[in-house]
Amino acid sequence: MGKTGKAVIVREYNKPVCVEEVEVESPRRGEVMVKIAACGVCHSDYSAVNGTIPMPPPLVIGHEAAGVVEELGEGVEDLAIGDHVVIVWIPMCGQCRYCVEGRPALCDMSAKAVFTLPDGTSRLKDRDGNTLNHYAGVSVMAEYATVHRDNVLKIDPEIPLDKAALVGCAVMTGVGAALNTAKVEAGSSVAVFGAGGIGLNVIQGAALAGAEQIIAVDLEDKKLEFARQFGATHTVNPGSDGDPVAKIGELTGGGADYAFECIGVPEVIAQTYAAIHKGGTAVVVGVTRADGTVTLGTFMMPFQEKVLTGSMYGSARPKIDFPRLLNLYRSNRLKLDELVTATYPIDDINRAFDDMLNGVNARGVLIM
């Protein structure tokens, strides 16, 4: 039967997105339809608008959301209509080598669901009957979404859906980068380059880990104000404070134990690596353009034993990490209420993107 509802569509790179009525096909075997309640406004979605993440238009974007189960496909027996769920934008097959090794964020199934569902087909059509591509296999910046069963995780219905949605990407990616990927230790020093939605959650994660110094770096003073609210002990604005690497060296006595790049700029990745001391760990969380490259001096690498690594989805283990994060929220140890600084109707998505790009919000959320 399917549903008709509004969705945010990228029709052409570097143009304002469109809000249109789309047809969402009912779930097939092993799939679920979700009535979306809230969707975070994430820079990764905008990266599909400007072509940084080259997903082909026409494309329904959105990957950070929560909602209520609307329909169940054949064979889905562990969910019920009316269940509250968070979208998991990387599915977990449980069978590939990465899932078996306990690294489901690298699941091979996700490679099959880049701009379709895992079976290679779409569940979306526009008003003229033309097929629309999916973003990351989910496309949840919409009133309805049909996704694979493995792309949803049931949650306690008492948790507000506009807060739960953020766990689906920004919180998991940021907090997970600190706790899962880097394994930040208590008493350590941490530098975070970029204090947007992801960077603020890296800061939260470092604070949860008991880091002694948390240094936020950003060119926007408003974002640095947010950073202090989320746990930063020091802030550096390169525009007014000068070289951030030198400043971090001064504050830490020679370099940070851990540094995180949360912007997706090759030059900043190089700064992140330079900001750690011998034996330190630099983590790349931000996504650069597909042709981005970084040049690093190699002579000192064996002598310094620095680690440079990426972090995919905060090295997420959603079935373990999502409940833990939501429990931290319920015990007032994780800031989700404070993270949502503005809400928008779906028709105002272009204004929401403008506010995000201008650093107005910690996180904006679309309310459906």
C-alpha to C-alpha distance for 121 and 88, rounded to whole angstroms: 19
Would you state the pLDDT for residue 91?
Answer: 78
Q: What is the mean pLDDT of residues 17-46?
A: 97
pLDDT at 111 over 80: no
Q: What is the mean pLDDT of residues 142-164?
A: 96
Pinpoint the alpha helices (H) of the chain: 43-49, 97-100, 161-166, 172-176, 197-209, 221-229, 238-241, 244-252, 266-274, 301-304, 318-330, 349-357
Place of tokens 């998505």: 349
Using a 10 angstrom Cβ sphere, with 0-12 exposed, 13-18 middle and 19 or more buried, the burial of residue 293 is exposed
Percent of the chain surpassing pLDDT 90? 93
Model confidence at 347, pLDDT cuts 50, 70, 90, reads: very high
Would you state the pLDDT for residue 92?
Answer: 80
pTM: 0.95
Q: What is the mean pLDDT of residues 223-250?
A: 97
- Tell me: the pLDDT tens digits for 276-313? 999 999 999 999 988 999 999 999 999 999 999 999 99
Q: What is the mean pLDDT of residues 261-280?
A: 97
Rounded to the nearest 10 degrees, how much is the dihedral formed by the CA atoms of 64, 67, 71, 77? 90
**Cis previous bond, 58, omega within 30:** yes
For residue 111, what are the contacts with CB-CB under 8 A and spacing of at least 6?
Answer: none
Would you state the pLDDT for residue 70?
Answer: 98
pLDDT at 110 over 80: no
Domains along the sequence of the chain with CATH: 3-154+338-367 (3.90.180.10), 174-312 (3.40.50.720)
Would you state the pLDDT for residue 90?
Answer: 87
C-alpha to C-alpha distance for 173 and 216, rounded to whole angstroms: 17
pLDDT at 19 over 80: yes
pLDDT at 112 over 80: no
Kindly state the tokens that stand for 190. 């941490």
Kindly state the tokens that stand for 280. 């330190």
- Tell me: the pLDDT tens digits for 69-92? 999 999 999 999 999 999 999 878
C-alpha to C-alpha distance for 364 and 194, rounded to whole angstroms: 17
Q: What is the sign of the dihedral through the CA atoms of 189, 286, 169 and 147? A: negative
Q: Is 317 left (phi over 0), alpha (psi -120 to 50) or beta?
A: beta
Reference 138, options 89, 74, 178, 207; nearest CA is 89
Model confidence at 133, pLDDT cuts 50, 70, 90, reads: very high
What is the helix (H) or strand (E) element at residue 37, kind and residue range? Answer: strand 31-40
Q: How is residue 271 annotated by DSSP?
A: H
Identify any residues that bridge with 125 across adjacent strands, giving them in sequence order.
23, 131
Would you state the pLDDT for residue 242?
Answer: 96
Q: What angle do CA 89, 341, 21 make, to 5 degrees?
A: 50
The answer to whether 17 and 9 are in contact (CB under 8 A) is yes
Would you state the pLDDT for residue 113?
Answer: 80
- The overall average pLDDT reported for the chain is 96
- Tell me: the pLDDT tens digits for 191-228? 999 999 999 999 999 999 999 999 999 999 999 999 99
